[in-house]
Structure formats: structure tokens, C-alpha cells
Structure 1
Amino acid sequence: MPRKPEIGNIQLYPDRPLKKADKNGYVLKFYCPLHQKRIRKSCRTRERREARRIMRECRERLLNGRYIESGGVITEELEIQTRLPTPSVMRGDRERVSDMRWQDCFEHYYEHCKTRMRPKSLETAIGRVQIASRIFENYRKKMKLPENANIEEYTTLTVLEYLQDRLLAGEEGVYETRSLTTVNTMMGAVMAFVRYCHRHGWVGQVPPITKLSVDDVMKGRPVTIEEFESMLDATREVVGEKPAESWQFVLQILWESAFRIGDVMNFSWDDERKIHPVWPRHQNLHPTLIIPSTQKNGKTQEIPMLPGLQVLLDQVPEKDRKGWVVNPLAMEYQIKVDSEWFRPTNTDLAKLAADYNNSAIARACGVSETTVRKWLTRAKIKRGEEFNRHQGEIDSTAITKLKARAEKQSCRQAQRKEQRLTAKRVSRIISMIGEQARIVVQQPDEEAGRRLKYASAHDLRRGCAHRLINAGVSAETLKIILRHKDFATTEKFYGATKAAQAAAGEVHEKLAGDSVKQDSGNEMSQFSDEELKKLRSLLNSI
């Protein structure tokens, strides 16, 4: 049985003098009676002696009960700082509200969000606030400012606008710049943290930060049928020969289902806790999909299964309908041999042996003549009597081609051994397939902050929605299939397409009707007055 946790047993990490690489300072690790588990608390100091003093004080507070009474505060000084603000401050006094530090507020915010957000949302929100923390830390080091600044010094309008500019410039990011939409989203997460601090009285006011003006457009575009077929063809070049079939199945599921990438990796045959199909028991009913509440909109839904998806699933044998519907294999990658010499393939070696002597082959491959003789012997290549021992040299272009073919043969094919790829990894590989197929869904635009973007998994979802719109599916039905939380989202991205198609159909119908009327009028005017009189007299005589 596990050992019962001991109250007051505290460890200090790291148990050594700090190095420059230790960015977080000293940390206490101990069993918290409030959380009923071992937690970490920052000492907010880089002095080893001070950290040990805080550890002793925290142990004493755990044993005498002050830790529980204060709600989990490790020192008396911090307890004084975190007390409720005075009435004058609550009335809107402009003086400093408290001496809370950024890191202390962040820890409180994390504990607050941990029980109120879903894991994915929590990871995203906290990650964005941490990016802001690193940008502020870079600025502090650059300006040589003191450590442990007050939270109010980080939440002024000037500082937040500086953060907005640095985010737009791509600091602490993957790419050189960020899009305007991404910056607004990240600033929204930071401002949520600032509002939390304001509610607790740690910040006097919430600065009125202005959002960046962005165009209300998609980040990509719908993929066409021809482009989708190009992605299927390029799959083998990206993932390798063996995994290609499983990845093509992933692309087909995305193309026919309008799933998000997280949905397709959560698609199961028989697990009712995941997205799973429901097959009808009567002939007049259609198959549907059950979507659990873990999806993006937080609702449990039953949506229609699209006919194309039904055809794909029907092709899977009954014995294989268990576990995950989609389970792509890991990519094959090549481990190249890093050396100055190379061994030609047997086919190239036979051609070289027919035209060049061993000395020329050895100089081209960077080996000795003895090595070339061994290659010929092992490959069982023999020269004919007509060989004239040509003393010429192999040209550089031919050597480059020989080396490329030799490296491809000598590379060892390998795959990562993982139980299952994550949705993020699958999304990146699909983007690599889109890049290999050269399908551009967004052109670079420096003014709008857009970068060159190739087809991704979400563009396949857009392609499916676009096909449904063109087939005459209403926007209300499309909202159900795409599982948008708000109809405004569907109307925003696909309503214009639907309206344009309806308007085009009405225009063509009206113009076609006018042309028919005009043609009929022309036909009536082909008879002269005399011919009309003869026609009337003939009709009257009948």
C-alpha cells in the first residue's frame, strides 16, 4: 500500500545554487492538505538562504494550521499581501491596490481556471498568458529592470499595448509574424487574466485596450475535388510507402465527413464515449453519428451521416469494425549515411564497369581500387572480352546522379514506435501533404499579417461544406452538420456562398424566361396581315 502523506515534509528544488538556466527560481514541493495531493509553490526568490528560510516557515505554518486558515499561503508576508483591499480602494482609489507579484497572481489564476475550464481550453489559455510572461521577462532583462515587479506595473495601458506590438512582431512565436486575428485572440486571454486580477482587487482598473482591425474572412479556403485528388497522390511521397494507405483513408474521412481534426481522431466504431456511428434497424431510416459533449461546442448531438462517409465505412469489413475508425501509421523517414564516399547501386555499378576501369570508378566514389574489386565480386559483375579499359574520367554530373541514387538506397527506412499519433501531429502531417501537393489556400499579405498557407485538415472540412452548399443544402442544415455553436458562424462563412448561388440561380431563371418570351414573340411576328386573314377565313370555314 502507498505510504500515507506526511504533513510538513517539504523538499526544496533545486537543492543547489541556481544557474542562469534556472528561470523559475527556488520551488517548494510538499503535500497540500487543501488539494489532497503534492503541489509546487514558488519561493519568489533566487537566494538559497532565503528559500530555506521560507521552507522552514512553510513547514511551521503547515504544522500549526495557519496554512489551512490562510487558504494555502506559505508565508506570513504573502498572507498580508493577499488580504482583501481596503474600502477606499474598493471605491476606486488610484493608489496601489496590493503588492501582489505577477507570478503569484498567475498561480492563483491557474488554480481558479483548473476547475472551471476543460483541459484543452485550460492549456490554451494558460499557454497564452505564459507567452506574455516571457515577453515581459525579455523586456525586463533588456531594460535591466528589477525582478518581481508589482502586477500593476504589467497591466498598464502602455505595457499592454507594447505586448500587443511584440505579439504582432512574432516574438516568442513559431513564425516571424503573427496574424491580426491571432494577436487579438492572445490578447483576449491576457485581458481575461487582467480582469480576474481586477475582481480580486490586485489591479486598480482594467485598461481599455483596442483590438486590431481584421478582415472577416476565412484563414484558408475550400479545397476543390481536383486539389483533393492531388493531395491523395502526394501522400505516398510524404509519409512513405507502408503508411500511405492509412493516411489516404484519413484524408477521405475528412473530405466526406466535414470533421475537425480532433473529431476524426476521436472517431470510434464501438466506444459510446467517443464519436461513433449509429446504424438504423429499419430500411426507411438513415445512419447517424453521435457526438459527445467533449466536442468544441460542449453539446451532445446526433447528426446525419453524409452519404460519402457511409460509403467509406461500408467498405470496411465487419471483422475490422472495432476500436478507432482512423488510426494512421507513423511516417517513414530515412536515416542517411553521413560519409564522403558512396557505393553505387548494382545497376549503376554494372554500367560503370562496362565503360570505365576500376581506377576511374574508385576516384568517382572516393574509395580504393581494392574496394571496387570487392564490390564487383560481391555483385557478381564480370567484364566482357570487348572491354577496352577506357582511361577516361566520370563527369561530375554523372557522379552527382550516382551519389543521389546510392544515398537513397543506403538510407535505412524507419518509423517511430508510438501507440497512436496525436491530433496535433496528424494535423501537421496533413499540412505537409498539402505543401507537397502545392495547394495554396492563402497568399501572403504583409499588410493584413497573413503568411503563405498550404492546404490543411480544416480546408478539407471547408471543402465538404462548400460541396454541400453547392448541392442546395440550407444554411440551417449545414449548421447541424458542421456543429457550429452559433448560427452566426455558419452564416458568416457560408451564408454568402449560399446567397450568391441563390441570386445566380434567380438571375439565370429570369433571363432564361425573358429570352423564351422574346423568342415566342418573334415567332408570332413571322405572319403578315394578308396571311393572317387567310388563316382566319380557313378556320371559320372548318
Structure 2
Amino acid sequence: MSEINVHILKRAGRNVWLMRYFDPYTRKHVTKSSGCEKKKEAEKAAGVWESELRRGVYVPTARCGWEEFIEHYKASKLNTKGEGTATTYLSTVNVFQKHAKPERLSDFTTERITRFVADCRKAKLSEATIARHLRTLKVLARWAVKQGLLGRLPEFDMPTTPKGASKAKGRALTVLEFNELLLKVPQVLEADDRIEGTADDWRFYLKGLWCSGLRLRESLALSWTDGPGAILVDYSGKFPVLRIPGEAQKSGADQTIPVVPEFARLLDTVPPEARSGPVFAVGGSRFIVGRVVAAIGKAAGVVVHTKSGNYASAHDLRRSFGRRWSRKVMPAVLMELMRHASINTTMQFYVGVDAQQTAAELWAAETVQGVRLGDRTESEESEPAENAEKTSTGGGT
């Protein structure tokens, strides 16, 4: 925009000087008041405005429609993000358009966002869902300000979660609940003949989610043979590992992770001659596969979130994997298995959050060789090891 030149003019009968320039973007003249009656002051104001225009600091938001802005964002920014992120962003845009009904980018204001949050609550959206929408809208607003399309960043009053309250929309499944899912597979497949794959294929897939901790999209990228975007099962070392390319996982980073023993044993049930192409022979996109798993969870009657009434999903099987292994390995190892970006995520959702399980382990640990520690006498508990050994062997004088 370095070719922009602002000049001043005064119309007949007016005391205030006007400023005007030719916008090469719209191919139209843009005029606004300088607010000055003296020519020198108007020239100074015009110089400031010209400088802002050339540096891209000032861009009149009135000329940018909301749909035009979204298309611009999709073409300039969103196409660089992963499929899952892009889908999440567009979902938020659709919800915001439905409730806030913006026509121009200038409608992206604090007041409009406040009313949007109120409408979401009336529609009984969860606080976690509202917070997710607001985070996405804040990213859009910051980008618009950075591009000079939006003059001011709106205020975002983020919902707060009570301290200690779980943010998860699901939970880990018990072994009995997981077995119920396996039993309901034929029923769900018989109810919808459009579902690809046999009952054995789907049971194998559910076991794979249960034993691997893979996200749904990652599980469908799992492959015996290498290829673009494939998560490869690599047997070249002493232990099997998964080689995950950046485009196949949430973090966007290339990574190699170990295969846990239970998943390795499941993979070993596939004959070597059949190890070609995708590991799981369930057809369809991740959205279709996700709906089938949710249908199986519903058929099994496994409710994972009482308030929302959500049934077991593919991600709840990942949660189940994380919960089981949180009892077997240290948090740093679990963080690697779950591929969390922060140890805080691992600690928040998987370590030390199940009071009943912790209590069961404490009560089990209280019994040593059939004797309850609480029932031992003070002398027994304080008896030195060497004295106990002498007593048991008959030694001593």
C-alpha cells in the first residue's frame, strides 16, 4: 500500500477540511473528516493517516464483510492447519454465525460476544464447549487485528471451571463395560447394513483402541506398510514401535513411541502374510467410524457423562488405556505413551484422580502374607529383622 497518497480538500459551505485517498484494493476513493478547520492542522492529520495506511496500521473495517473475512482466513491461515483443527474452527464459526448473526467484521465486538455466550447457555451448551468456542474466536480476532482488518481486540470473559472439577466429557471404562461393547457389535452392524467390515473386524478395532491409546484419527492411519501419512508398525528393533509422522497426529511433530505389551500381543494375532495395508479393516472416514463406535457404546448402555448423557466413544477407550497404565508406569512414561504436550495434562486427567481405585490399592497393600498390618502388635512391628530371623530359625541363646 506504499502508493497511497492522502490529500485534503474543503467543500463549499464547510469549515472542516476533509481527507481523501484512492484505495487500490477497492478501486474507490475513501474520504473522512480531518476534524480540523485550519489547513496546516488538516495537512498534519492527513500525513498521519497516510503513514498509517502505508504501514497497514489503519484499515477501515466497514468494508470487510463477515463471510468475506472467513473466506480470507480459510485461504490464508486455516489451510495450513490439520484436518481436525480446521473442522473445530469451522464448527465454532458456524455456531457463532447462528447465534450472533454477524454481517460485517465490525460486528466482531465485545458486546456481540457477550450476547453470544448468553445464547449458548440458553441453548444448554456446556461451559467446556462455550470455552472452546471462545478460544477459537479469540484466535480469529487476534489474527484479524494482526492483519489490520479489525481495529480493536474484543474482550473475552472465559468461563471458569470450579477448582477440582473434571473437565473431561467422558471417563475410563471398566473391563466389564468394555466387554459389553464387544458383545453389542453384531447388534449394531445388523441394524445398519451400510457399515463396512465384519463383526470380527470391529471387535479387533475396539480392542486396538483399548490396548493402544491411539486417537480415532490416528488409529485409522495405523498401517503395516509405510506410505504418506501412515503410522507405521515397525518391527525392525528388539521391541515393536510406532513411527508417527507429524501430519498424522495432533501435535504435528514426527514421533516414535513404544508399543505396550498388550497391544503387541493383539497385533501378533494377525498372521505375517496378512500384514499389509491398514491394520484395522473398518471402512469410512473418522466421523463415520466415530459414530459407529458411539452407537456400540449406546447399545451397550455405557454412559460416560451423566450430565450430558454421553455414551462410550472411541476417546473413552483412549481414556481407559491411560487410566490403566497410570497405575503401572511413572507419569513421565505415561506422558510419552499418551503423547501429551505437557506433563500437566497427564497429571490432571490420569494420575491420582480415581479415589476408589487408590483406596482399593491402599486396602490391598495393608495385607501382607495374610496378616492385616493394623492388627499387628507394637512389638511385632518394631522387632528388628535380625531378631525375627533368629526366632524363625531357632537361633539365639
TM-score by length of 1: 0.55
CA 1:89 to 1:438, structure 2 compared with 1: closer, same or farther past 3 Å? same
Is the partner of 2:63 in helix, strand or coil? coil
Aligned to 2:203: 248
Alpha-carbon separation, structure 1, partners of 2:359 and 2:151: 53
Match of 2:258 among 297, 304, 309: 304
CA 1:110 to 1:80, structure 2 compared with 1: closer, same or farther past 3 Å? farther
Alpha-carbon separation, structure 1, partners of 2:325 and 2:207: 16
Match of 1:455 among 305, 312, 318: 312
Match of 2:182 among 232, 250, 258: 232
Alpha-carbon separation, structure 1, partners of 2:262 and 2:119: 46
Q: Percent identity?
A: 25
Match of 2:87 among 106, 119, 123: 123
Aligned to 1:187: 134
Structure 2 contact 59–148 (Cα < 8 Å) conserved: no
Bigger CA drift: 123-132 or 311-320?
Answer: 123-132
Is the partner of 2:242 in helix, strand or coil? strand
1:102 corresponds to 2:58: no
Is the partner of 2:224 in helix, strand or coil? coil
* 1:103-252 equivalent positions in 2, closer than 5 A: 103-114=67-78, 116-137=80-101, 149-152=103-106, 154-170=107-123, 177-214=124-161, 215-240=165-190, 243-252=198-207
Alignment-mate amino acid for residue 166 of structure 1: D
Aligned to 2:342: 486
1:423 corresponds to 2:370: no
Structure 1 contact 431–454 (Cα < 8 Å) conserved: yes
Alpha-carbon offset, residue 272 of structure 1: 4.7
Aligned to 1:76: 27
- Show CA shifts across 1:401-428 (max 9, x none): xxxxxxxxxxxxxxxxxxx311111111
Alpha-carbon separation, structure 1, partners of 2:360 and 2:51: 62
CA 1:217 to 1:234, structure 2 compared with 1: closer, same or farther past 3 Å? same
Is the partner of 1:208 in helix, strand or coil? coil
Unaligned runs of 5+ in 1: 1-68, 141-148, 171-176, 329-419, 445-450, 524-539
CA 1:94 to 1:313, structure 2 compared with 1: closer, same or farther past 3 Å? closer
CA 1:480 to 1:502, structure 2 compared with 1: closer, same or farther past 3 Å? farther
Structure 1 contact 235–433 (Cα < 8 Å) conserved: yes
CA 1:453 to 1:208, structure 2 compared with 1: closer, same or farther past 3 Å? same
Alpha-carbon separation, structure 1, partners of 2:326 and 2:281: 30
Aligned to 1:324: 278
Alignment-mate amino acid for residue 320 of structure 1: A
Is the partner of 1:277 in helix, strand or coil? strand
Alpha-carbon offset, residue 202 of structure 1: 3.1
Alignment-mate amino acid for residue 222 of structure 1: A
Structure 1 contact 85–97 (Cα < 8 Å) conserved: no
Is the partner of 1:265 in helix, strand or coil? helix
Alpha-carbon offset, residue 510 of structure 1: 10
CA 1:503 to 1:317, structure 2 compared with 1: closer, same or farther past 3 Å? closer
- Show CA shifts across 1:170-222 (max 9, x none): 4xxxxxx3211111111221222222222233333212220112344321110
CA 1:97 to 1:85, structure 2 compared with 1: closer, same or farther past 3 Å? farther
Is the partner of 1:311 in helix, strand or coil? helix
Alpha-carbon offset, residue 88 of structure 1: 7.5
- Show CA shifts across 1:228-247 (max 9, x none): 11110011100129721111
Structure 2 contact 128–167 (Cα < 8 Å) conserved: no
- Show CA shifts across 1:495-534 (max 9, x none): 22489849964995599556434363899xxxxxxxxxxx
Alignment-mate amino acid for residue 194 of structure 1: A
Alpha-carbon separation, structure 2, partners of 1:115 and 1:485: 23
Aligned to 1:278: 234
TM-score by length of 2: 0.73
Aligned to 2:6: none
Aligned to 2:222: 267
* 1:502-517 equivalent positions in 2, closer than 5 A: 505=362, 508=365, 513=373, 515-517=375-377
Is the partner of 1:220 in helix, strand or coil? coil
Is the partner of 2:326 in helix, strand or coil? helix
Is the partner of 1:302 in helix, strand or coil? strand
Aligned to 2:213: 258
1:520 corresponds to 2:383: no
Match of 2:329 among 458, 463, 473: 473
* 1:17-32 equivalent positions in 2, closer than 5 A: none
Is the partner of 2:214 in helix, strand or coil? coil
Alignment-mate amino acid for residue 244 of structure 2: I
Is the partner of 2:246 in helix, strand or coil? coil
C-alpha root-mean-square deviation of aligned residues, in Å?
3.7
Structure 1 contact 257–461 (Cα < 8 Å) conserved: yes
Alpha-carbon offset, residue 263 of structure 1: 1.1
Alpha-carbon separation, structure 2, partners of 1:169 and 1:243: 43
Alpha-carbon offset, residue 110 of structure 1: 2.1
Is the partner of 1:162 in helix, strand or coil? helix
Bigger CA drift: 100-109 or 203-212?
Answer: 100-109
Aligned residue pair count = 333
Aligned to 1:26: none
Alpha-carbon separation, structure 2, partners of 1:277 and 1:180: 39
Alpha-carbon separation, structure 1, partners of 2:272 and 2:291: 31
